[in-house]
Homo-oligomer: A and B are copies of this chain.
Amino acid sequence: MQFAVKLTARQQQILDLIQSAIARTGAPPTRAEIANELGFKSANAAEEHLQALARKGVIELVSGTSRGIRLKGDALRSLNETRHREGGQFSLSLPGMSQLALPLIGRVAAGSPILAQEHVDQTYYVENTLFQRQPDYLLKVRGMSMRDAGIMDGDLLAVQATKEARNGQIVVARLGDEVTVKRLKRNKLVIELHAENPDYPTIVVQPGEPFEIEGLAVGLIRNTMLM
C-alpha cells in the first residue's frame, strides 16, 4: 500500500490544472500559464506550488526544460482515466485531440434550454482549431435578419455557450421564450440587439425585461450552397 499523499486544496487545484492542460493541449503548462489560469499575478506563485507538488512526489520537475512537468504515479494514472471518461458524448477532449463534437441545434422550442437533448438533430465532428474560440454547438439560423453580416437562412452558427460578450459581437440571446441571433450593443444600462438588415428592427431591451445572453457566435458553416 502506498502513502496517501495529502495535498492542500490549492495544490490539488494546480494538479488538476496540469492534467487538464495535458488533456487539452497535449503538453504540460508553463508557470505563466498556470498563474494566468488561476489568476495569480506572479508566475512565482505557480513555481512554488510546483515545487511543493514535486516534494510530495506527485509530479517531477525537469530542470532547464520548458513545460518540464511530469506526472508521477497516481496523478498519471488518473489522467488516463480522465481521458477515458471524457471520451463521452459531447465535448470530446483528448490529449492533443483536435476533434470537437458539435451538436447541431435545429429549432429551439419556446422556453426550453438550447442544449436540450430534443433539439439535437445530429452531431458533426470538426477540428477545434478551426475557429478562434472553441464552440459548444451549432445553431441553425432561421431568417435573414443578419443578412448583411453574411449570416444567411439555413447557415450553421458555431456558438460558444457563454454569458460574456463584448460590445459589437454577435450573440445568441434569449428574450423571454424567444431565442435570437443579433449584434450586441450596450450603452450603460440599455442593451440593444441590432439586426444586420434594414428590414428588421433593432430590439431595445429595457432594464428589468427578461433577457439573457446564451452564447457568442464564434464561427459559421454553410452547407447549403448548391442549387
Interface residues, chain A, CB within 8 Å of chain B?
22, 25-28, 30, 60, 62, 66-73, 76, 80, 83-84, 87, 89-99, 101, 124-127, 129-133, 147, 150-152, 155, 166, 168-170, 216-227
Contacts and interface: CB of A to CB of B under 8 A. Distances in A.
B168 A227 contact: yes
28 contacts: A22-B26, A26-B70, A27-B27, A30-B66, A70-B96, A72-B127, A73-B98, A76-B95, A76-B97, A80-B90, A80-B95, A83-B92, A84-B89, A84-B90, A87-B92, A95-B101, A99-B99, A124-B129, A126-B127, A126-B130, A130-B221, A132-B223, A132-B226, A133-B226, A218-B223, A218-B225, A219-B225, A220-B222
Contacts of A73: 98
The 8 closest A-B pairs by CB, nearest first: A66-B66, A220-B222, A150-B152, A80-B90, A27-B27, A70-B96, A150-B150, A125-B127
Given A126-B130, A220-B225, A226-B133, A71 B87 contact: no
Identical copies of this chain, number: 2
